[in-house]
Amino acid sequence: MKPDREQVERWKTVLSPYFGPDHRRSTGQLAITAGLYAVFWTLAFLSLGVGYWLTLLLALPVAALLMRLFMIQHDCGHGSYFRSQRLANAVGFVIGVLALTPYHYWRKTHAIHHAHSGDLDLRAFGDISTKTVDEYEAMSRLQRLGYRLYRNPFVLFGPGAAFHFLVKHRFPWDVPRAWKREWRSVWWTNAALAALLVLAWLTIGLDRFLMVQIPVTLFACTLGVWLFYVQHQFEDAYWHWHEDWNYYDAGLHGSSFLQLPKPIQWMTANIGLHHVHHLSSRIPNYRLQRCHDENRELWAVTRMTLLDSFKTLNLALWDEGRRKLISFREYRKRRPRMAGA
pLDDT digits (tens, 9 = 90+) for 47-83: 999 999 999 999 999 999 999 999 999 999 999 999 9
- The mean-pLDDT minimum among 23-37, 111-125, 154-168 falls in 111-125
**Res. 184: pLDDT tops 60:** yes
pLDDT at 28: 97
pLDDT, residue 341, reads 39
Whether the pLDDT of residue 335 is over 90: the answer is: no
Lowest mean pLDDT: which of 122-126, 195-199, 225-229?
122-126
Task: Give residue 334's pLDDT band: very low, low, confident or very high (50, 70, 90).
Answer: confident
Mean pLDDT calculated for residue range 165-188:
95
Q: What is the mean pLDDT of residues 77-102?
A: 97
What's the 3-state SS for the chain? CCCCHHHHHHHHHHHHHHCCCCHHHHHHHHHHHHHHHHHHHHHHHHHHHCCHHHHHHHHHHHHHHHHHHHHHHHHHHHCCCCCCHHHHHHHHHHHHHHCCCCHHHHHHHHHHHHHHCCEHHHCCCCCCCCEEHHHHHCCCHHHHHHHHHHHCHHHHCCHHHHHHHHHHCCCCCCCCCCCHHHHHHHHHHHHHHHHHHHHHHHCCCHHHHHHHHHHHHHHHHHHHHHHHHHHHCCCCCCCECHHHCCHHHHHHHCCCEEECCHHHHHHCCCCCEHHHHHHCCCCCHHHHHHHHHCCHHHCCCCEEEHHHHHCCCCEEEEECCCCEEEEHHHHHHHHHHHHHC
Q: pLDDT confidence of 2, banded at 50, 70, 90?
A: confident
Q: How much is the pLDDT for 127?
A: 83
pLDDT band at 310 (very low <50, low <70, confident <90, very high): very high
- pLDDT value at 148 more than 80: yes
pLDDT tens-place string over residues 16-45: 999 999 999 999 999 999 999 999 999 999
Of 5-9, 25-29, 168-172, minimum mean pLDDT range? 5-9
pLDDT band per the 50, 70, 90 thresholds, residue 317:
very high
For residue 336, the model assigns a pLDDT of 60
Instruction: Name the band, by pLDDT with cuts 50, 70 and 90, for residue 337.
Output: low
Is pTM beyond 0.85 here?
Answer: yes
